[in-house]
Structure 1
């Protein structure tokens, strides 16, 4: 069975977010650029952690470990996402919250479409 391309998907997300952030920065919007980059990272990095954790084992003999790693991966992803948002809102000034959330949402939708495309 082929391993899922979780790192490739995270890399594509981070690349596109970096390009968008760089474009905004050069367009004279450094606060928006930083917010966009952080929103994308808050989506891509916890998802990469989940993918690495969840797909560590495979096969029928490892079924219990697979299920356990899915739960641990999802819990870790949730905690990383919450801690990331808390850290951003507590430490980053100035911040564009709209750009942060829009970037996070678009990054999540990109992940869904890339996962759906790789499953086919």
Structure 2
């Protein structure tokens, strides 16, 4: 999961740099923030959900593993919610369309990478 978050951050950083140097700094900032709002909570989930490592395997550890997943997903949801609220409250000027498109594209990148890793 951390690899996926790193790939997402690299992609939005490159897109943000291209947009910034092409004279669209507000759109660039919005794209980077949108990507970060997707990637950082995903990284938190990855750390939290898989914190037990190899010692959390087997039937005895099933309850702990499930509990870690629930805590990770709850934290991811709250980080995303608070992140969007903070961005809309504090970041001016902001391009909401670029923010949401970037967020959505990062979610799609996550789905594609997870599907490739599962194979």
Unmatched runs of 5 consecutive residues or more in structure 2: none
Post-superposition shift, 1:19? 0.1
Which of 3, 12, 35 is 2:7 aligned to?
Answer: 12
Q: Deviations over 1:60-109 (max 9, x none)?
A: 13111101011100100000000000000000000000000000000000
Cα separation, 2, equivalents of 1:16 and 1:47 = 15
Consecutive unaligned residues in structure 1, runs of 5 or more: 1-5
Aligned to 1:53: 48
**C-alpha separation between the residues in 2 aligned to 1:67 and 1:22?**
39
Instruction: Map 1:1-120; keep pairs closer than 5 Å.
Output: 6-57=1-52, 58-60=56-58, 61-120=60-119
TM-score (norm 2): 0.95
How large is the RMSD of aligned CA atoms in angstroms?
0.6
More helix by share: 2
Q: CA deviation at 1:26?
A: 0.1
Give the TM-score normalised by structure 1: 0.94
> Which segments of structure 1 move beyond 4 Å, counting only runs of 4 or more?
none
Residue-pair matches, total: 115
